[in-house]
Amino acid sequence: MNETFFGIPWVILGGGALVVALIFTFVWPSRKVGAKPSVVRCVILRWFHAMVWALLSIVCFVRAMNISLQSQLTNVFLLAALGLYLTCVVTLVSSNRKPEPEGRRPEAGRPAVGPALVGLPRE
């Protein structure tokens, strides 16, 4: 296995990823959470991005070592990091959606057509 990635040693890349993980441990998008977030959403937005960078640093350090299970270990950690990252992105995007104004929501059992779409009262 190559001991560098684009000429940069894996240990240096792992140290950089570890620094980024530490930064994201203390800095997180608290303003992006919204008014009343659920506990699960707060945990995901608070910790998952830092965990992604921690896993990437582990991958770099494992790549720097010459062990027999290197490929299998890095694949497991990379897939875990990918899953955490996708969960974090989906949660962040869904927490940024603005709720519809009250006047534009259709009543239960009635289709959202006609005057309800423009906020006019129904007849």
- Please spell the DSSP secondary structure of 40-95, one letter per residue: HHHHHHHHHHHHHHHHHHHHHHHHHS--TTHHHHHHHHHHHHHHHHHHHHHHHHHH
Global pTM exceeds 0.85 = no
Count of domains in the chain?
A: 1
Would you say residue 110 lies in a domain? no
- Going by pLDDT thresholds of 50, 70 and 90, the confidence category of residue 87 is very high
In 3-state terms, what secondary structure has residue 27?
coil
Q: What is the pLDDT of residue 102?
A: 58
Position 74 in a domain? yes
3-class secondary-structure state, position 123: coil
Residue 31 lies in a domain: yes
Residue 19's pLDDT band (cuts 50, 70, 90): very high
pLDDT at 52: 92
The burial of 112, by beta-carbon neighbours within 10 Å (0-12 exposed, 13-18 middle, 19 or more buried), is given as: exposed
Q: How confident is the model at residue 100 (pLDDT cuts 50, 70, 90)?
A: low
pLDDT digit string (tens) for 31-59? 666 667 778 888 888 888 899 999 999 98
- pLDDT for 113: 53
The residue segments making up the domain with residue 39 are 9-97
- Give the CA distances from residue 11 to residues 23, 31, 52, 77, in Å, rounded to whole numbers and listed in that order: 18, 34, 17, 16
Q: What is the pLDDT of residue 61?
A: 87
Asked, for residue 123, whether it belongs to a domain, the answer is: no
d(CA 69, CA 48): 26
